[in-house]
Structure 1
Amino acid sequence: MAIIRPFKGLRPAQALAEKVAARPYDVLSAAEAKAESAGNPYAFYHVSKSEIDLPEGTDVYSQAVYDKASENLQRFIKEGTLFQDNTPCYYIYRLIMNDRTQTGLVCVSAVSDYNSGIIKKHEFTRPDKEKDRINNIRTTKAQTGNVFLAYNDVPEINSLTDHWVQEHAPAYDFTAADGIRHTIWVVDNPGSVQEITSLFEKKVPHTYIADGHHRAASAALVQQELAANGQLAHDAPANYFLTTIFPASQLVILDYNRLVKDLNGLSKASLLSALEYDFTVENIGHLPQQPTMLHEFSMYLEGNWYRLVAMEGTYTTDPIGILDVTILSNNILDKLLGIKDQRTDKRIDFVGGIRGLQELVRRVDSGEMKVAFALYPVTIQQLFDIADSGNVMPPKSTWFEPKLRDGLVSHLL
């Protein structure tokens, strides 16, 4: 059963919460983080994207970046921008986006659950991304990036969190510039804390990583490193990692789209001809069109959009084979464009559906990329089925919105 624990969260002074809150470090570039934090010395980007405080052109994976993150984090603590709770707490985190509400529990989850498979995965991780987070955690001695977990609904847990929300004032409540409302309550009553811990141990056999595979893997590797060096007591904070756990019924997955830098030596005409072996291909003009059903794709190439529908026989019906990301990977990215490993190939990039199809158009029209593919999103049940089967999806298969904000609750090691 799932092991979760309360912890002494590091969080902002109430008056500064909105200024501190930052989008997750891995959903925006350094340039975007620098623009968003302009004139705001409290922005958590100074920790999560600390290259914004270093000379332009600094290698984002250099030790100087991690040292700057640690320096800025300690400065925030010293100046009172951030403070640590005196007793272990849980935190209830509610997000509202487009009138849709999801409410999760901020806690720390056991690294041992990650290692044993109680926390289930659905993606492989990229070595370069793992190393980045390992260096960040090791240098800052903190987990500042949240791992987003999901679980099959438990009515008793939902009732408990709903009751706490109704009976207590929030610690933070603000609407960010993108229109998403963020509200956090601190659960500090010892009886309620124990009840939450017990409910998860009795009622939740598994949790599933929805978003944050690299953050989870890196936390586990840091814990392994510290344990090997004899630096960990049984109850050491590094035996746990920062998570926020949501009931599955409240979650929605958006599409996760692909961009490729070249056509692997093919011309436009030869690519379109080759696609017709596995797909029906229709030129749909200059206006973007989102795929409307499974096994349908939208492709943007040289100013035109094309509708691609996978033919029967190009995919299997097992939990992995039936996924659109698998169909695209096997029949286009690998077979035609020569991309064998999406985790390491530098010719491919990924764009979350929240950015819209215009982002695909922009990057292809700029010449940065040659072709883009928009996909129909997977479902939360497909994600659970794959994780339960012990399989993994191709990388970057799911995009969840709304995103948790970095800086509102961190876990010190």
Structure 2
Amino acid sequence: MATVIPFKAVRPTRDKVGLVASRSYQSYSEPELEARLNYNPYSFLHIVNPGYKYDKDLHGKERYSLVKNRYLEFKEDGIFVQDQTPCYYIYKIVNRNGDEFSGIIAATSTEDYKNNVIKRHEDTIEYREHIFKDYLKTVGFNAEPVLLTYPDNDVIKTIISKTQKVRAEFEFTTHFRDTHYLWVLDDTSAIESIKTEFKNIKTIYIADGHHRTASSYLLSQALKSENPNHTGNEPYNYFMSYLLPESELKIHEYNRLVKDLNGLTKEAFLIQLDTVFRIENRGNELYQPTKKHHFCMYLDGEFYSLFLRKMTYQFENPLEALDTQILYKTILEPILGIKDVRNNTRLSYSYGTNNLVTIKTKVDSGEFAVGFGLVPIKINELKAIANEGLTMPPKSTFIEPKLRSGITIFEF
């Protein structure tokens, strides 16, 4: 039984939304960030990089306080305006490849996260949870929704489709040629129908935003303990999410690159692989695996297909059947000596269009000794991992859509 409620979003005005919206600031290179700060006074990046105004790098509480000040200035200047009544926000993204994503921006319950109604499939790092919790407590808002996914629902789909028949409140295209649309859903009957449908959904899943979800839960507990009149209905008991039906979620693979063969010769490495995989040399063929438990390997100028010998590997739970876990348990840890896949500097990750070409280029350059290509994980695998209370290895999924900051803001 999921609690998904409307809220009064703070939003940029229609004429400025395309200028305000930004990617997560960590995703910008230094030249990109500087250019946007220099030439776009409306960018949300000015809020999250308040030190730009003083040509100074800021950290911790000093930065958090100035983030809040910049945010309040955007409201005072009329760049941001808050809706008067609680609404759902129907949000659609059409990316450069023509993929479409239509979902609902809403407030979701931290208690649902605590009670495992909202399930996770990744581990979080405790110190990062607390850093972001302290940030949220100081600034008092969240500007980027967590991406959640739910089972396809005909009633919700019909409401979304009907809402999208009228002109969108927002429509803008990014430099990456992704087009974003937003509709404000304030019809009380439709709102109640959506709330009811989510109440009948037993479980929803975090697709992207595990740390933000965990931090929001920690914040709710902290503010609850400080409020003697706590009722459970306060905004801090919720966090902003973009809820997308499972059929529209797009999951890409994360491939692996390793800097060396752990002291092994090419021949010795292949012999060790042969105990677990059926190996075929594909030469210059850009071999892309298409089935679970099939892998691509690029080594010394040649591609190889690796097919898992299932008689030598036992699937004891959904995690053990996951290709990223199989690669770790059969190659990365026992042969290449990589035990800590989160922090080992010999291991790198790669994703994106034509990624096998990227792997080939990086290995041919000598930067890496070997690369591995995988097939994307399926939504049912993600759900099985979450349902068992297990967690995937780091960088198991690259999930679309990727959301922008500053389009809807949730205050608490």
* Post-superposition offset of 1:62: 4.8
Aligned to 2:203: 206
Render the CA deviation track for 1:335-392: whole Å, top value 9, x for unaligned.
2233334344455443343583445456556766554332110111221222223322
Report matched runs for 1:368-407 at 5 Å. 371-407=370-406
Cα distance, 1:286–1:41 mapped onto 2, change above 3 Å? farther
Cα distance, 1:329–1:177 mapped onto 2, change above 3 Å? same
Render the CA deviation track for 1:159-189: whole Å, top value 9, x for unaligned.
11211222x3211112222222211001123
Aligned to 1:327: 326
Give the counterpart letter for 2:390 in structure 1.
Answer: N
Report matched runs for 1:114-129 at 5 Å. 114-129=113-128
Give the counterpart letter for 1:316 in structure 2.
Answer: F
Aligned to 1:173: 171
* Post-superposition offset of 1:282: 4.2
Render the CA deviation track for 1:263-295: whole Å, top value 9, x for unaligned.
444455543443232223444456754332222
Aligned to 2:291: 293
Query: Matched residues in 2 for 1:207 and 1:364: separation?
Result: 40
Is the partner of 1:113 in helix, strand or coil? helix
Query: Matched residues in 2 for 1:10 and 1:32: separation?
Result: 26
The answer to whether the aligner puts 1:4 opposite 2:1 as a matched pair is no
Cα distance, 1:169–1:115 mapped onto 2, change above 3 Å? same
- Check conservation: 1:254, 1:354, Cα contact below 8 A: no
Cα distance, 1:177–1:195 mapped onto 2, change above 3 Å? same
Cα distance, 1:290–1:382 mapped onto 2, change above 3 Å? same
293-302 vs 351-360, greater mean Cα deviation:
351-360
Query: Matched residues in 1 for 2:111 and 2:355: separation?
Result: 38
Cα distance, 1:385–1:87 mapped onto 2, change above 3 Å? same
Aligned to 1:229: 226
Give the counterpart letter for 1:247 in structure 2.
Answer: P
Aligned to 2:163: 164
The runs of 5 or more residues in structure 1 that have no matched partner are none
- Check conservation: 1:31, 1:52, Cα contact below 8 A: no
Aligned to 2:18: 18
Report matched runs for 1:2-401 at 5 Å. 2-25=2-25, 27-28=27-28, 32-34=32-34, 39-48=39-48, 62-63=60-61, 65-97=63-95, 98-166=97-165, 168-201=166-199, 203-230=200-227, 233-266=231-264, 268-285=266-283, 288-301=286-299, 304-312=302-310, 313-316=312-315, 318-353=317-352, 356-360=355-359, 371-401=370-400
Q: Radius of gyration: which is bigger?
A: 2
- Check conservation: 2:144, 2:408, Cα contact below 8 A: no
Query: Matched residues in 1 for 2:17 and 2:10: separation?
Result: 12
* Post-superposition offset of 1:242: 0.9
- Check conservation: 1:180, 1:402, Cα contact below 8 A: no
Give the counterpart letter for 2:352 in structure 1.
Answer: G
Percentage identity across aligned positions? 36
Cα distance, 1:131–1:32 mapped onto 2, change above 3 Å? farther
* Post-superposition offset of 1:113: 0.1
Query: Matched residues in 1 for 2:55 and 2:387: separation?
Result: 46
357-366 vs 378-387, greater mean Cα deviation:
357-366
Query: Matched residues in 1 for 2:154 and 2:252: separation?
Result: 26
Cα distance, 1:70–1:368 mapped onto 2, change above 3 Å? farther
Query: Matched residues in 1 for 2:194 and 2:367: separation?
Result: 49
Query: Matched residues in 2 for 1:291 and 1:392: separation?
Result: 24
Query: Matched residues in 2 for 1:358 and 1:258: separation?
Result: 13
- Check conservation: 1:354, 1:401, Cα contact below 8 A: no
Render the CA deviation track for 1:299-323: whole Å, top value 9, x for unaligned.
3456554433322223526322211
CA RMSD of aligned residues (A): 3.0
- Check conservation: 1:106, 1:244, Cα contact below 8 A: yes
* Post-superposition offset of 1:83: 2.0
Query: Matched residues in 2 for 1:52 and 1:289: separation?
Result: 46
Is the partner of 2:202 in helix, strand or coil? coil
Cα distance, 1:282–1:106 mapped onto 2, change above 3 Å? same
* Post-superposition offset of 1:16: 1.1
Query: Matched residues in 1 for 2:193 and 2:281: separation?
Result: 58
Give the counterpart letter for 2:98 in structure 1.
Answer: D
How many pairs are equivalent?
409
- Check conservation: 1:153, 1:247, Cα contact below 8 A: yes
- Check conservation: 2:145, 2:242, Cα contact below 8 A: yes
Cα distance, 1:45–1:389 mapped onto 2, change above 3 Å? same
Cα distance, 1:160–1:308 mapped onto 2, change above 3 Å? same
188-197 vs 97-106, greater mean Cα deviation:
188-197
Give the counterpart letter for 2:16 in structure 1.
Answer: L
Query: Matched residues in 2 for 1:109 and 1:259: separation?
Result: 37
Is the partner of 1:159 in helix, strand or coil? helix
